[in-house]
A = this chain, B = another copy of it.
Amino acid sequence: MDIYIALIHHPVRNRAGETVATAVTNLDIHDLARTARTYDVRGYFVVTPIAQQRSLVERIVSHWQEGEGKAFNPVRARAFERVRVAPDVDHALEAISAQTGHRPLTVVTGAAFKDDTISYDALRARLIDEDGAALILFGTGWGITDSLVARCDLRLPGLRAVPGRDSYNHLSVRSAVSIVLDRLLGDR
């Protein structure tokens, strides 16, 4: 399949459980672009309804793709080729359909997911063997809202250590994206 990822800045919860829009961060863009490029993800969507935040992402990307950034670090420029912005998930899905000709399978991640999930190995087999497109959603803040989770086709279980180790499960989203993509697409 053609794989896409989305970093969701809205709708997500804050610490109090309220639905909010989180701020885009420069570092998330860099780290996720590099990880996405490493695993040959076809597009990385930064999803936020705030137009100024989308403009910020576009400015950062063009700095590294065209300006001094490209001269300073041409390898980084290649990572940024696949960064996109979208005001919401529907716009991302439409863009993927237009690019691939397939309605994407939607897969959502969450630190607390346990039941009604697909295993990493089962999804890995589908992504590697089947045709089509898939969009994997990652939340910021305290996680994607239940209403958006309910709209997705599949849920992946939260990441944790092997039983017997004192697991903690408060990874940064940068770490979570890296581990999920490696479990699904890594050469291990």
Q: How far is it, in angstroms, between the C-alpha of A185 and the C-alpha of B159 when the chains are bound?
A: 11
Q: What is the minimal beta-carbon distance from A1 to any residue of chain B, in angstroms?
A: 11
User: Are the CB atoms of A75 and B170 closer together than 8 Å?
Assistant: yes
CA distance A160 to B187 in the complex (A): 6
Q: Quick check: B27 and A165 within 8 Å, CB to CB? A: no
How far in angstroms is the closest Cβ of chain B from A47? 21
B contact residues around A39 at 8 Å (CB): 161, 165, 167
Contact A38-B168, Cβ < 8 Å, known A175-B175, A188-B120: yes
Chain A residues 31-72 with CB under 8 Å of chain B are 31, 34-35, 37-40
Interface residues on A, range: 35 or more
Contact yes or no, B78 A40, CB < 8 A = no
Q: A150 on the interface (CB 8 Å rule)? A: no
Whether B170 lies near A79 (C-beta < 8 A) is: yes
Asked if A182 is an interface residue, CB under 8 A from chain B, the answer is yes
Q: How far is the CA of A163 from the CA of B188 in the complex (A)?
A: 11
Q: Would you call A183 an interface residue if the criterion is a C-beta within 8 Å of the partner chain's C-beta atoms?
A: yes
| Known contacts A167-B40, A170-B79, A174-B175, A183 near B188 by CB under 8 Å | yes
Assess whether A130 is interfacial by the CB under 8 Å rule: no
At the interface, yes or no: A186 with Cβ under 8 Å from chain B?
yes
Q: Which one of B159, B174, B185 lies within 8 Å of A31 (CB-CB)?
A: B174
Residues A86-105 near B (CB distance < 8 A): none
A-B contact pairs, 10 of them (CB 8 A): A27-B27, A31-B175, A39-B161, A39-B167, A40-B161, A40-B165, A75-B170, A165-B185, A167-B187, A174-B175
